[in-house]
Amino acid sequence: MKTVPSPLRRLASDYGMVLVLLALGLYFSAVTITTHQPTGKDAAVQVAARVRSGETVFIVTRRTPEDAAYVEALQTALRSRSVSMAATVQGEPRDARIALEQLNTGTRPLDALLTTSDCATWTILKDLTNRFPNLGTPSFLTPEPHRWPTFLTRQNLLNVANQIAVVAILAVGMTLVILTAGIDLSVGSILALSAVLTTALLRRWGGPDASTGSQFLASGLAIAGSAAVGLLSGTLVAGFRVPPFIATLAIMQIASGLAFIVAEGSSIYEVPESFTILGRGTGFLGVPNAVWLMLFLYAIAHLLMTRTVLGRRIQAVGGNPEAARLSGVNLPAVLLFAYGFCGAMAGIGGVVQASQLKSGAPTYGQMYELYAIAAVVVGGTSLAGGEGRVLGTLIGALIIAVIQNGMNLTGVQSYQQKIVLGGVILGAVLLDLLKRRAQKP
Amino acid sequence: MNPRPLLSLAGIVKSFPGVRALQDGRLELRPGEVHALLGENGAGKSTLIRILAGALAPDAGSLLLDGAPVHLRSPHEARRRGISVIFQEFNLVPAMSVRENLFLGQEQASAGLLHHDAERKAAQRLLDRLGATFHPDTPCRDISVAEQQLVEIAKALLHDTRILVMDEPTAALSGREVDRLFGIVRDLRSQGIAIVHVSHRLDEVFALCDRATVLRDGRHVFTGNVSELTRTALIEHMVGRSLDAEFPRRHPTMGPARLVVRNLQRGTAVQDVSFEIRRGEILGLAGLVGAGRTEMARLLFGADRPDSGTIALDGIPLRIRSPRDAIRAGICLLTEDRKHQGLVLNHSVLENFGLPNLSRFSSLGFLRQRSEVAALRTYVDELRIRIPHTDQRVGLLSGGNQQKVVLAKWLETEAEVVLVDEPTRGVDVGARFEIYQLLHKLADAGKAVLMISSDLPEILGMSDRILVMHAGRITGEIADVPQATQADVLRLATAESLEPAGPTSASTP
């Protein structure tokens, strides 16, 4: 008796959507290939490789952050290869002339002139051999342009992840609720409530001068409040057996109303600059903090669903509530947890959104519940409950993000994008149905 | 002697991904016969029926109706050609009336407007013909299972059915309802209709059927006249080997009372029920469907809450307010409805097995899957559960294997009181015997076993003592089981001659 089916087959059936994601990535890579001018470190590595050791070089660039990174990386690379750097200039053509005049007073010729393709057009450099005969005829080394898909650049990929982070965080909680055969329509409103709660508290506690401690406290309170709203939905569903659709539709209205009341109907901008670290800053490996947070939450939820008793019970409640109850599962407790967790995730989403936009407004999160549900469904979780995976939802969210990003890059209009997205959601549901039909004997 | 067959199926082949459900399906029906279709679970009966119903298309084989080959492309076409199939799960809309259900899909109307009166008259005629007592305007959810079955039969008659296939029609019926159904079936037979009767209950085959066809592992193995068959011969055809006995032998050694139930009450479903189960005893609980047996077991298990009454295990009073409490106290319940209450069908064998045992297979809330798998494996070997791997979806298993999975999950809780409700319903003969052996083993290990069953031979063959319920009360006790007959049990179960009586006054010697 084998314990598990072959891992490859399992991967295909569980995470077949990964293949879809890869295919989409390949497609958008293929259609967005254009000429790229390397800058910064990438450019330095390329140029340094063309310098032979023992040569004497002259480095000249403009004074921009990108060029500074280029120069710094160049210097590091060349120093280790005993290349002698006669001079380094960061500035205007005038600065280059002064430096060159000085070098020209010596007798040592230059072997190479390291610069950018932009500076290479300066007349002072073009005229070099005539005006500074002592320097010989150095070769010009500039970063070579190359062809590469815009979609597949590091910056764009990080963009994709960053843009979907908030919806993906909502979708984690939504996955748990949908696994219990429920649905939570209130996550968008809870997000708005959380965002205005956080910013309103920050405004009260000093506005732009609010301390780090009060930022944490404000976020924590907003998330706790969001979890409480989720628990309220859970109580309606578990305790009073209100159908989840209706219960959370009501809570959606209530939470939205509360958000408008807290914000007094307008946006709140009085937040400290440091509050944007979560939403706009980047962390380890240059990946945005919001993306790290999203990945962390998915890891936690994945562990919860695959490795813990509670996770197993959530699946069982969605698969067959009566059988679960008769097996000793505390049904109300499981449902309360799922809705409370979903509320907390929406709360975290609200804090991230407020941090990204450096403000809180009661209009945030509109339609987000539908995007979250779409991510869950595209990720292969059954709306009937009891079947699905948290990581599937992450894939689902990324698929939606990649399609949106890809269409933006290829200039598809936003109206048409909606139609494509709708088609993708339908396709995912049809695939799920077909899979289910094939499984039935 | 051999009238021309009305329908003949030959060489039917049907495969599903990974399964060859039918390799050589054969069935020949003559007008005016009741034909038993028999076989263990997984033998291919259901597939054959679904092909007859037009719900599945065979991969190969011939289907002749009145000697002419036909292709049944849809259930609609099958019905149009006079073939009606009544599945175990009825196709009725609960909120709609009997009449609306009868005419669903072929409403009597002109220009889109319904002719209520014409429908009502036709419905009434049909129901009268079947001896039904309910009004055609009653919503279907308000009538009993047996009555819903009548509606299904009426629906078939409305379509001028010549071949009526019934899949385990007696599974949910009480004794008297079964008798009435058989009366109707005989009546239909006399009108020249061919009836296919699919059942696990061999008594019914001998009581009702003219001929029998047996399938085994997707192949036709036998067709013949029932009058020329013995029970043993039929079972041997089904399992493909000879059986020594239907029930295993056992010499019970009983100790003191373990579970003591006093004055248990819940509405009118369970009234003043008192009894005890002794150490090592298998207590049979007989009665008609609706007598309160299942309801009583649910009270013991905490699935419902009693109005009053006490339950004690080994002298210690129990406070049971939920199934969780019951499981903690050492009580388990194998429910009669495996698919809706016993298993999460689209989850794996492992997940179902673990569900009531997760605290045992976890530390600090984290699962220890390796110990869970190891525990399951011991049961897979011990109970001979046939599964390809522990992640197999439980819904894809045969009835017998599903039941074994349910048993395994409860055995792992190490319950001291084992309540089993219809433990062999929908379970094939081979697996049945294994389940009987297991119940014996549990009793021999000193547990208290309560077995609810509507299968009288099973109650008589397995129980050390029998209690009989009727209308929520215990109406009798049979202590000397080997001397008792099915008639004795039935008499107590129908309780017609008995006015409300205590358990002892109605007991047979």
Give the tens place of pLDDT for each residue, B263-283.
999 998 899 999 999 999 999
B356: chain A residues, CB-CB within 8 Å: 327-328
Q: Could B354 and A312 be called an inter-chain contact, meaning their C-beta atoms sit closer than 8 Å?
A: yes
Residue A156 backbone dihedrals phi, psi, to 5 degrees:
-70, -40
Nearest to A316 among B17, B341, B344 (CB): B344
A316: chain B residues, CB-CB within 8 Å: 344, 347, 351, 355
Query: Which among A293, A266, A297 is positioned nearest to A364, based on CA atoms?
Result: A266
- B127: exposed, middle or buried (Cβ count in 10 Å: 0-12, 13-18, 19+): buried
Q: How confident is residue A310, by pLDDT bands cut at 50, 70 and 90?
A: very high
Above 50 in pLDDT, residue B502? no
Coil, helix or strand at residue B224: strand
Find tokens 């396709």 and name the residue. A427
* DSSP per residue, A175-191: HHHHHTT---TTHHHHH
Q: Which of B48, B340, B347, B383 to mutate to test the interface with A (most CBs of A within 10 A)?
A: B347
* DSSP per residue, A89-110: EES-HHHHHHHHHHHHTSSPPP
- pTM over 0.90? The answer is no
Q: Could B355 and A329 be called an inter-chain contact, meaning their C-beta atoms sit closer than 8 Å?
A: yes
Q: What angle do CA B298, B304, B306 make, to 5 degrees?
A: 95
Supply the DSSP symbol for A145.
P
Higher pLDDT, B95 or B468: B468
- Average pLDDT of span B433-443: 91
Crossing angle (nearest 10°) for helices B399-412 and B369-382: 120
Distances (CA, A) of B337 to B67, B136, B172, B304, B424: 41, 29, 11, 16, 11
CB B196 within 8 A of CB B29: yes
Supply the DSSP symbol for B28.
E
Confidence (pLDDT) at B242 = 62
CB A408 within 8 A of CB A153: no
Q: Could B355 and A320 be called an inter-chain contact, meaning their C-beta atoms sit closer than 8 Å?
A: no
Give the tens place of pLDDT for each residue, B49-70.
999 998 888 999 999 999 899 9
Above 60 in pLDDT, residue B496? no
Query: Considering just the CA atoms, what is the radius of gyration of chain B in Å?
Result: 24
- The minimum CA-CA distance between B484 and chain A, rounded to whole Å, is 35
B351: chain A residues, CB-CB within 8 Å: 312, 315-316
What is the value of ipTM here, to two decimals? 0.74
Above 90 in pLDDT, residue A116? no
Q: Which of A327, A334, A381, A389 to mutate to test the interface with B (most CBs of B within 10 A)?
A: A327
Confidence (pLDDT) at B34 = 95
Higher pLDDT, B427 or A440: B427
Distances (CA, A) of B174 to B170, B180, B289: 8, 10, 5
- Average pLDDT of span B332-340: 90
Give the DSSP H/E element, type plus range, for residue A399: helix A390-409
Confidence (pLDDT) at B326 = 94
- Average pLDDT of span B291-317: 93
Confidence (pLDDT) at B17 = 67
Which token pair is A58?
């002259």
Above 60 in pLDDT, residue A440? no
- Average pLDDT of span B6-16: 89
Partners of A288 in beta bridges? A282
A329: chain B residues, CB-CB within 8 Å: 324, 355
Q: How confident is residue B109, by pLDDT bands cut at 50, 70 and 90?
A: confident
Higher pLDDT, A182 or A73: A182
Confidence (pLDDT) at B508 = 39
Cα–Cα distance measured from residue B443 to residue B175, given in angstroms and rounded to the nearest whole number: 29
Confidence (pLDDT) at A436 = 67
- Flag the least confident range among A277-281, A386-390, B248-252: B248-252
Higher pLDDT, A107 or A342: A342
Give the tens place of pLDDT for each residue, A30-55.
888 888 888 777 788 888 888 888 88
Confidence (pLDDT) at A12 = 59
In sequence order, the 6+-apart residues with CB closer than 8 A to the CB of A321 are A181, A331
Confidence (pLDDT) at B155 = 87
Query: Which among A262, A32, A57 is positioned nearest to A157, based on CA atoms?
Result: A32
CB B259 within 8 A of CB B277: yes
A179 touches chain B (CB under 8 A): no
Q: How confident is residue A231, by pLDDT bands cut at 50, 70 and 90?
A: very high
Mean pLDDT of the residues in chain A: 88
Above 70 in pLDDT, residue B243? no
Give the DSSP H/E element, type plus range, for residue B214: strand B211-216
* DSSP per residue, B181-206: HHHHHHHHHHTT-EEEEE-S-HHHHH
Query: Which among B15, B157, B186, B33 is positioned nearest to B86, based on CA atoms?
Result: B157
Confidence (pLDDT) at A242 = 95
B390: chain A residues, CB-CB within 8 Å: 1, 3-4
Coil, helix or strand at residue B354: helix
A315: chain B residues, CB-CB within 8 Å: 344, 347, 351
Calculate what percentage of chain B has a pLDDT beyond 90: 42
Which token pair is B121?
């008259």
Supply the DSSP symbol for B303.
S
Find tokens 């894809």 and name the residue. B396
Confidence (pLDDT) at B501 = 41
Above 50 in pLDDT, residue B497? no
Above 80 in pLDDT, residue A247? yes
Q: Could A5 and B303 be called an inter-chain contact, meaning their C-beta atoms sit closer than 8 Å?
A: no
A319 touches chain B (CB under 8 A): yes
CB A84 within 8 A of CB A56: yes
Confidence (pLDDT) at B436 = 92
B406: chain A residues, CB-CB within 8 Å: none
Distances (CA, A) of B283 to B6, B252, B257, B477, B492: 47, 12, 12, 10, 16
Confidence (pLDDT) at A10 = 57
Above 80 in pLDDT, residue B246? no
Mean pLDDT of the residues in chain B: 87
CB count in 10 Å sphere of residue B257: 17
Confidence (pLDDT) at B499 = 43
Q: Could B366 and A308 be called an inter-chain contact, meaning their C-beta atoms sit closer than 8 Å?
A: yes
A6 touches chain B (CB under 8 A): no
Above 60 in pLDDT, residue A3? no
Nearest residue in chain B measured CA to CA from A313: B355
- Average pLDDT of span B329-354: 91
- Average pLDDT of span A243-263: 96
Confidence (pLDDT) at B276 = 94
Above 80 in pLDDT, residue A4? no
A437 touches chain B (CB under 8 A): no
Confidence (pLDDT) at B94 = 82
Above 60 in pLDDT, residue A270? yes
Listed ranges A170-184, B358-372, B429-443; the one with the highest mean pLDDT: A170-184
* DSSP per residue, B77-141: HHHHTTEEEE-SS----TTSBHHHHHTTTS--EETTEE-HHHHHHHHHHHHHHTT--S-TTSBGG
Strand order in the sheet with B7-16: B68-69, B60-65, B7-16, B19-29, B219-225, B211-216, B34-38, B194-198, B163-167, B83-86
- The minimum CA-CA distance between B301 and chain A, rounded to whole Å, is 8
Query: Which among A184, A183, A179 is positioned nearest to A386, based on CA atoms?
Result: A179
Above 80 in pLDDT, residue A334? yes
A439: chain B residues, CB-CB within 8 Å: 393, 396
Give the tens place of pLDDT for each residue, A209-228.
888 999 999 999 999 999 99
